[in-house]
Amino acid sequence: MSTDGHDFKPGRHFWLALAPVALLAMMVSLDGTSVSVALPIMAESLHGTAAEAFWTGTSFLLSSAVFQLPIGSLSETFGRMYTLAACTLLFLIGIIISSVSHNFTPMLLGRTIQGMGGGGIILLNDIVITDLVPMRHRGTYFGIIGGVWALGSVSGPVIGGALAYEASWRWLFWINIPFAAIALVMIPIYLRLKRTPGSVLEKLRSIDWIGSVLFIGATSSFLIPITWGGVQFPWESWHTLVPLLMGVAGMAAFCVYEKLVPSTPIIHLDLLRDYNMAYSLFAAIINAAIVYGALYFLPLYFEATKDYNPTVSGVALFPATFTVAPMSIIAGIVISKTGDFRVVTWVGWILSTVGLGVMTLLDVDTSVVKWFFMTFTTGLGLGLLYTSLAIINQAATPSDDAMAIAIGLFIFARCLGQCLGVAMSGSVFQNQMKAKLLKTETLADKATEYSRDATSIVALLGGMPDDERKRELIQAYADALKIVWAVFAALSGAAMLAGFFIKKVSLDRAHQTRQGLDASDAEDSGNEEGGFGDRDADGRSEVTTAEKVEKVDAEEKHGDDIPPTPTTPTTPITAATTTTTLAEPNHRIDTVEAKEHS
Q: How far from the centroid of its chain's Cα atoms is residue 478's Cα? A: 30
- 421: domain CATH number is 1.20.1250.20
The answer to whether 506 touches 396, Cβ cutoff 8 Å, is: no
Q: How far from the centroid of its chain's Cα atoms is residue 166's Cα? A: 32
- Same domain membership, residue 38 and residue 144: yes
- Same domain membership, residue 444 and residue 372: yes
- Same domain membership, residue 424 and residue 291: yes
The answer to whether 38 touches 157, Cβ cutoff 8 Å, is: no
Domain final residue pick, 240, 263, 286: 263
Q: What is the DSSP string of 215-267?
A: HHHHHHHHHHHHHHBTTTB-TTSHHHHHHHHHHHHHHHHHHHHHHHS-SS-SS
Residue type, 65: A
Prediction pTM value: 0.77
- Same domain membership, residue 518 and residue 479: no
pLDDT at position 32, please? 78
- Same domain membership, residue 172 and residue 35: yes
How many C-beta atoms surround the C-beta of residue 100 within 10 A?
12
Kindly state the DSSP code that residue 563 receives in the 8-state scheme.
Answer: P
Q: How far from the centroid of its chain's Cα atoms is residue 296's Cα? A: 17
Could you write out the three-class secondary structure of 437-477?
HHCCCCCHHHHHHHCCCHHHHHHHHHCCCCCHHHHHHHHHH
Question: Measured between alpha carbons, how far is 194 from 175 in angstroms, rounded to an integer?
Answer: 32
- Same domain membership, residue 587 and residue 521: no
Closest CA to 381 of 318, 248, 311, 290: 290
- Same domain membership, residue 522 and residue 504: no
Question: Measured between alpha carbons, how far is 142 from 387 in angstroms, rounded to an integer?
Answer: 6
pLDDT in tens, the chain (598 residues): 344 555 677 778 888 888 999 999 999 988 877 877 777 778 778 887 766 777 777 788 888 888 888 888 888 888 888 899 999 999 999 999 999 988 888 999 999 999 999 989 989 988 888 888 888 888 888 888 888 887 887 788 778 878 877 788 888 899 899 999 999 999 988 887 777 776 777 777 777 888 888 888 888 888 888 877 776 777 788 888 898 999 899 989 988 988 888 777 888 888 888 999 999 999 999 999 998 888 888 888 888 888 887 778 878 888 888 888 788 889 888 998 888 899 999 999 999 999 999 999 999 889 999 999 999 999 999 989 988 999 999 888 887 677 888 888 898 898 888 888 888 888 888 888 888 888 887 778 777 777 777 777 877 887 778 788 888 888 888 999 999 999 999 999 999 999 999 999 888 777 666 666 655 555 455 444 333 333 333 434 334 334 443 444 444 444 444 444 333 333 332 333 233 332 333 333 343 334 444 3
Kindly state the DSSP code that residue 273 receives in the 8-state scheme.
Answer: G
CB environment 117-134: b (16+ within 10 A), e (fewer) = bbbbbbbbbbbbbbbbbb
Question: Measured between alpha carbons, how far is 169 from 165 in angstroms, rounded to an integer?
Answer: 8
- Same domain membership, residue 561 and residue 477: no
Instruction: Provide the H-helix boundaries in 306-367.
Output: 310-316, 318-321, 324-338, 342-359
Question: Measured between alpha carbons, how far is 487 from 204 in angstroms, rounded to an integer?
Answer: 46
Closest CA to 485 of 328, 296, 283: 296
Domain final residue pick, 498, 520, 543: 543
Closest CA to 118 of 84, 142, 144, 145: 84
pLDDT at position 524, please? 52
Question: Measured between alpha carbons, how far is 188 from 84 in angstroms, rounded to an integer?
Answer: 10
> CA dihedral in degrees (125, 126, 130, 132; nearest 10)?
20
Can you tell me whether residue 568 is helix, strand or coil?
strand
pLDDT at position 513, please? 65
Question: Measured between alpha carbons, how far is 39 from 55 in angstroms, rounded to an integer?
Answer: 10
The answer to whether 515 touches 78, Cβ cutoff 8 Å, is: no
Question: Measured between alpha carbons, how far is 88 from 95 in angstroms, rounded to an integer?
Answer: 10
Can you tell me whether residue 571 is helix, strand or coil?
strand
Q: What is the DSSP string of 485-523?
A: HHHHHHHHHHHHHHHTTPPP---------TT-B-HHHHT
pLDDT at position 232, please? 73
Question: Measured between alpha carbons, how far is 578 from 549 in angstroms, rounded to an integer?
Answer: 10
509: left (phi over 0), alpha (psi -120 to 50) or beta: beta
- Same domain membership, residue 96 and residue 17: yes
Question: Measured between alpha carbons, how far is 294 from 340 in angstroms, rounded to an integer?
Answer: 29
Query: Whole domain around residue 181: which residue ranges?
Result: 1-206+512-543
pLDDT at position 385, please? 92
Residue type, 531: G
Can you tell me whether residue 541 is helix, strand or coil?
strand
The answer to whether 111 touches 94, Cβ cutoff 8 Å, is: yes
- Same domain membership, residue 100 and residue 61: yes
Question: Measured between alpha carbons, how far is 96 from 170 in angstroms, rounded to an integer?
Answer: 10
- Number of domains observed in the structure of the chain: 4
Can you tell me whether residue 323 is helix, strand or coil?
coil
- Same domain membership, residue 416 and residue 285: yes
- Same domain membership, residue 165 and residue 192: yes
Closest CA to 25 of 94, 140, 125: 125
